A and B are shown apart, each in its own frame.
Chain A
């Protein structure tokens, strides 16, 4: 098969992403999680009389726990491929990235597998979060004192 011909076939087979549909699905799923998070947090504040900070922490932990549990059962990968950024941008995506790299490298052993590969995907979030937060904090100190 000639190269030109091959490229034409690849072009005709590969789908162009449906931007509007993907954006709408992400909006709906992300929004749903946001609404649930709001309900859970106000519920925790009212029922257990927690402070805002503690209630937010517990809600985040709940979402993280559910995401990791679903990743362990193998459900979350299919959910992510369907709903994509509705699940990647909330904290669930961060939890999923750590849990899935832990599961992927489990066969390499506890130290060389789990230990050294844990932050393979989530490392970028922690690295750039820390660096940018450090710089921004210095800028804020300079501006506000």
Chain B
């Protein structure tokens, strides 16, 4: 396991940059990771991140794109626009959650 300094805080990360301890996550860290991905977080982005975190806390798993749509109320098209080129991976990394582990 590696550590990395993000937004002035040293956090534990996987090889591909996902936080391994959700308790180390802060909103500043999210902004810094988003910046690495070339994304400036807007309210619409935060709605996705907040849903992913809340859902992860209650289910123990990263929500699928279908669940983000049906339960989170974020249309799939908007989700792809907000986090271009690999939306679930990027959103999960920004939210300090594990890398997507499902095929859909």
A in complex with B:
no
Please report B residues at the A interface, Cβ cutoff 8 Å: none
Please report A residues at the B interface, Cβ cutoff 8 Å: none
